[in-house]
Structure 1
Amino acid sequence: MIGRAGCPFCERISREDYDLSWLNAVSFEPLNPVTPGHRLFVTRTHHSPLSDPFERIRDWKPGQEMYPAGVKDVLPLLTNWRHVNRITEPYNLILNAGAEASQTIEHLHLHYIPRREGDGLMLPWTSAPTPEEATRD
């Protein structure tokens, strides 16, 4: 297997279980799509969205762009895929980084989620009081 042992995405990539493929990334429908057309865009190389960028900070120079490792591999492919397929529908693009942010697989991936009026999808964002507001009476 290529990638990290035990990573479901690395295992899936190793089995070539995807329907779109590029040099640096693959794309496939998630096991539980939240809307019709929901896709995952996944880096071929195993990157952790939380730890990998910090390993590269020591080499950063002023003026350089800084992205979580792998985002520069995936985002242009997703954008090009939408353009080539003439996809113009509204969508959410979500990167979860860490369990508290709803990440369930520690391998960098972007969720492309098409949106339609009345699709019923409620994103897990709710208004929460700031620490200052929480201490007010």
Structure 2
Amino acid sequence: MAVNVNDPCLFCEFLKNKEIAAENDLAFAIFDGFPVNPGHVLVIPKRHVANYFELTTEEVLAIRDLLQRMKTEVDAKFHPDGYNIGVNVGADAGQSIFHVHVHLIPRHKGDVKNPRGGVRGVIPAKQSY
């Protein structure tokens, strides 16, 4: 798997040694090295781009394809009860790695006290409504 690097980044270098779980022409998937839950996957475009909103339509479709493929694999291996899918865009939204990556996080009944609000939990006071 070759990552196209226009501007070298440490994440691109790190990715060169990771085991690829799935890939297509424009993106690839790996299991997260610091998983929130077992089966946590990252789907990453091969082109070096920091901002999700700068992806091409083709890259977004390639990422979606891999999210679906990896969901099937994670379903079979880990039997989750649900999923969160997320992308951090910008430092103020929590982005710390400036190469787009989409999280596919399997969720299990009871993994948090109250899951209501899901991704709204990025601002804890706004999670419950």
Q: Normalising by the residue count of structure 1, what TM-score does the alignment of the two structures yield?
A: 0.66
RMSD (Å), alpha carbons? 2.8
Please name the residue that 1:44 is paired with: 46
Unaligned runs of 5+ in 1: 57-66, 129-137
After TM superposition, the score normalised by the length of structure 2 is: 0.69
Summarize deviations over 1:62-118 as a string: whole Å, max 9, x none.
Answer: xxxxx6x832221122113324x3726310000110111111111111001000112
Choose the corresponding residue for 1:100, options 88, 92, 99.
92
Q: Name the aligned partner's letter for residue 37 of structure 1.
A: G
Offset at residue 52 of structure 1 (A): 2.4
Please list, as runs of the form range in 1=range in 2, the aligned pairs for 1:58-137 lying within 5 A after superposition.
Answer: 70-83=59-72, 85=73, 87=75, 89=80, 90-120=82-112, 123-127=121-125
Unaligned runs of 5+ in 2: 116-120
Letter in 2 for 1:120: V
- Paired-residue identity, %: 26
Q: Which residue in 1 is equivalent to 2:30?
A: 28
Q: As a proportion of its length, which structure holds more helix?
A: 2
What is the identity, as a one-letter code, of the residue corresponding to 1:73?
Answer: A
Question: The residue matched to 2:42 in structure 1 has which SS?
Answer: strand
The alignment of Structure 1 onto Structure 2 pairs a total of residues equal to: 112
- Pairwise CA distance, 1:2: 4.1
Q: Which amino acid aligns with 1:18?
A: E
Is structure 2 residue 10 aligned with structure 1 residue 12? no
Residues 112, 105 of structure 1: CA spacing in aligned structure 2 closer, same or farther, 3 A cutoff? Answer: same
